[in-house]
Amino acid sequence: MKLCVPVPCFFKKIPFEKAIERIAFLGFGYAETYRWKGLDLLLVARALEQTGVTLLSMCTTEFRMTDPAFRSEWLDGIRESCEAARVLGVGKLITQVGPDTGDSRKKQHESIIEALKAGAEILEKYGVTVMIEPLNVLVNHPGYYLTSSAEAFEIVRSVGSERVKVVYDIYHQQVTEGNIIPSVTRNLDCIAHLHAAGHPGRNELQFGENDYRNIFAAIDKAGYTGACGLEYKPLMDPEESLAAAKKLYG
């Protein structure tokens, strides 16, 4: 399993380009981030080139897909995020789908599919993949629409584009539904990236109820060739935490 370091989780207090240097020094080849606006894109691109670190993913700027009234804003966000991704060599964008509007689940589900179909044309032009993310509403994201991995996979298959996939967050799905290994290994065609954290607490993987060595081994055996972002709040010193994760799971 390739491990990926989400910069904001571990290196909030230093410039982004310096964080990339620290990630390389610690022996990691992959990083990701969330908000890209505010970054000096050329400076970050230079740091990535000099260190050999690949920035695998970052977030889009707009997230409301459940409401068709916001579709044009979401598509504009896809365009500008793809432009930034091109500068940074990023191949994947993470998008949330937005809040539950109170409209019928069917209408919101269809709105997400239509938004993604429209976005796929833009993504194809840039060679970028967008990944929708199911989140938990019990602990972290009350009011969010997409909680079920099964619904996320159904949406991706309905869109029918190789540019539209799922980022499967093991922590969120452990909170919501469990059944992690079968859910991932039976749906690898829909999954482009993984996130992980220990539950409860969303801290280091080894401090939670899941045995991530077994989970990662099963996913590797099933043929997954992507990466897993260590999206947790470290209880340990951040660099010591990353070193421990690399020793345990890398």
User: Annotated active-site positions, please?
Assistant: 133, 231
Q: How far is CA 49 from CA 1, 52, 53, in A?
A: 23, 5, 7
Cα–Cα distance, 33 to 40 (Å, whole number): 13
Burial class (CB in 10 A: 0-12, 13-18, 19+), 69: exposed
Q: What share of the chain is helix, strand, coil (3-state, %, to 5)?
A: 50, 15, 35
Calpha distance 98→170 (Å, rounded): 20
Give CA–CA dist 22/3, Å, rounded: 15
DSSP 185-217: HT-GGGEEEEEE-BTTTTB-GGGSSS-HHHHHH
In terms of Cβ atoms closer than 10 Å to its own Cβ (0-12, 13-18, 19+), residue 99 is middle
Please state, in angstroms and as integers, the Cα–Cα distance from residue 45 to each residue in 40, 91, 92, 247, following that order: 9, 14, 16, 28
Q: Is the bond preceding 200 in cis, omega lying within 30 degrees of 0?
A: yes
